[in-house]
Every structure is written in structure tokens, then in C-alpha cells.
Structure 1
């Protein structure tokens, strides 16, 4: 293995048995890496859509309504973020509000829902493994593989980047 950027043959890729040595094998490997990079971006989109789905589903469950109602009651009927509610409750001095401080603090973390949190963990583990595989591929210093990854991630972002964008990409209202 060369420790510099190169377009060589016979680099090991992830496994001892995956060592493309012909031009056709390298081309096939680059196509596989390109497709895998697109898959990596699709996992990110899947995770974002599932997060949005689970958040919406939690709000529509009985526990979600209880959480929102408790937070709304603490803020005089307006639903706001939990951090703001806790901050406002902490600024009050009555004993009744002191009881609500612990309730608001406990409810600042969403409840554990196995049907949401276990799949979230599985998707995250697969996404992390995918990222490590791409990182190990880059560490071969084979320029053809690196170009395949960059192109695959770019195409994957074009295909899946607009699906359920995170809160940082939404314009402010």
C-alpha cells in the first residue's frame, strides 16, 4: 500500500480477498464504491425522515399530548420549547411552581419509545458503519476510489439531500 495519492493497481480494499489488479476490476470496484456512497446518503435521508415521523407520531400519542399540555400549562397556555418553559418556571417563587419545576425538568427529555428508539439506534449503527467503510476506502490513498466516493456522495446528496432536511436547513419564519 502506498501512503500517497496514486492511481495504482493491487491495493487491498477492506478485505484480503478484495484486491483488484486489472483495469476492469478497478472499474467495477469504482462503480461499487460509487453506489455505496449513494447508499450512504440514502441512509442519512432515511434517518431524517424517520426522525420526523417519530417526532410527529410522539406528539399524536397520549403521552405526547400530556407532555405538550403540561408544558403549555406552565407557560400560560402557549406551547413553547421545554428549555424556555423551564427557564420561565425557575424565575417564579411560589411553592406551587416549585412542584412544576421538577415536572418540567423531567419532561424536557422525550420519553423512551422502543418502537422509535431501537430502530433509530439500528439506523445510526448502519450509517456509522457505512461512514467507516468509506473512510477506510479513502485510507487506501487510491485516487480512483476517492473520486468514486466524492462523486457518489455528490450524486447521493442530489438524489436524497432534499428529503426531510434537518432544522438547520429550514428558512426562519
Structure 2
């Protein structure tokens, strides 16, 4: 870059010899302007250690050990929060599927129809046509509430997921494992909640809500 010579001369202009030696030997003298506290970190596309890396935002750059440790725990708990949203969304989908199955059973017994809203049984060859027919049907108030909540949770889940992916792409080893550790701990914390399965509404299931493997 054409600015490199200018920056190098600026680095050498200090009257303090000790400062010159320490500053020139740092990555900041080669890549930035001014003091190390004001210079941007270099982008290293390989696994590495060190404090100075961008974490999602321009201002989120750890400059010392304390900030780095705080950032590590922030990413760790952010990953667990991501797992919380993901598990909650999954459980809601299970609950809604159970409610739909129960409604279908009621419609089937009352009017010999297999689908809600009184729609006839769909054969495999007419699935796409049935989709089009369903899209043309007006949403019920309950469906509107479900889809609003589904959209919000999907937005949050996707945003957090890609943000955590970008953190791992800093190639900073401890930050990378902050995300991995959060995913690992979250998988244990929510192991029972993720074991919830859809229970077919019949006389054998006394609780149509949740069922989890290993819950007593």
C-alpha cells in the first residue's frame, strides 16, 4: 500500500527509543496510525491467539486481558441464549403440531374428514394443488398469533446463529471455543426439553403436553 511508507515514518518519528522499539515490533505499527489503543486489529485468516480481534462490531475489540475474558463469557452466554431460543421455538412447533393433530381428530370424528377446516383427504399426487388451496384460505386468529410468534423466533434464531458463525470466523482460538463451549453446555442444559416428542391424541396418553426421555 502507498500509505505504508508514511505510516512507517510516523512510527519512527517518536523521540522515545524504547517506545520506537516496542511500537515498531507490534502489529499496529505496520497496519495503523497512532497509538495501539486507537489502531484497528489485523485480520488473520488462520487460527491464532491474541486479544485484538473485531468481535461483530467496530467498537468491540478487546484491548487487554480483562476485556478479553469478559468478551469470552459474553459470547459463551450469548450462545446459550441462542440455544434457549432454538429449543423454545422447537417446543412451540411440537405444541402446535399436537394441537393441530387433536383438531384433525375432532374434525375426522365429527365429519369424516382428515384435515382441519373440513378439507378432504389429500393423495400424494395432489399435494402441490392442496398447498395452493391452503394458501388461498384465510388465516384464523390463532394462526395469525402463531405465525407472528414463529416469525419473531425465526428472526432471532437466524440472526444469533449467523452472528455466532461470524465470531468463529475471526479464527481466534479462544473465541472459537467460547461458541463451541456454549453449544456443548446448552445441549446438556436443554437435553430433556429437546426430547419432547409429538404425542398422538388417543386414550393411551394421559398427558398430551410433553414427554421426555429419562424424565423420572
Q: TM-score, normalised by structure 1?
A: 0.69
Q: Is the 8 A contact 1:45 1:161 kept in 2?
A: no
Q: Residue 69 of structure 1 is aligned with which of 79, 100, 108?
A: 108
The residue aligned with 1:36 is 78
Q: 1:129 to 1:156 in 2, by over 3 A?
A: same
Q: Higher helix share goes to which structure?
A: 1
Q: Deviations over 1:64-97 (max 9, x none)?
A: 358842898367xxx9xxxxx423898xxxxxxx
The residue aligned with 1:56 is 98
Tell me the secondary structure at the aligned position of residue 86 of structure 1. Answer: coil
Q: 1:88 to 1:142 in 2, by over 3 A?
A: closer
The residue aligned with 1:97 is none
Structure 2 unaligned segments of length 5 or more: list them: 1-42, 116-120, 199-211
How far off is 1:8 after superposition?
Answer: 1.5
Q: 1:88 to 1:41 in 2, by over 3 A?
A: closer
How far off is 1:57 after superposition?
Answer: 3.5
The whole-number CA distance in structure 1 between the counterparts of 2:152 and 2:77 is: 21
Quick check: 1:115 aligned with 2:145?
Answer: yes
Tell me the number of residue pairs that the alignment of Structure 1 and Structure 2 aligns: 148
How far off is 1:24 after superposition?
Answer: 1.4
Quick check: 1:27 aligned with 2:27?
Answer: no
The residue aligned with 1:87 is 123
The whole-number CA distance in structure 1 between the counterparts of 2:131 and 2:65 is: 63
Q: Is the 8 A contact 1:34 1:151 kept in 2?
A: yes
The residue aligned with 2:173 is 143
The residue aligned with 2:9 is none
Q: Is the 8 A contact 2:48 2:173 kept in 1?
A: yes
CA-atom RMSD, angstroms?
A: 3.7
The structure, 1 or 2, with the larger RCO (C-alpha pairs under 8 Å, 6+ apart) is 1
Q: TM-score, normalised by structure 2?
A: 0.57
Q: 1:39 to 1:72 in 2, by over 3 A?
A: farther
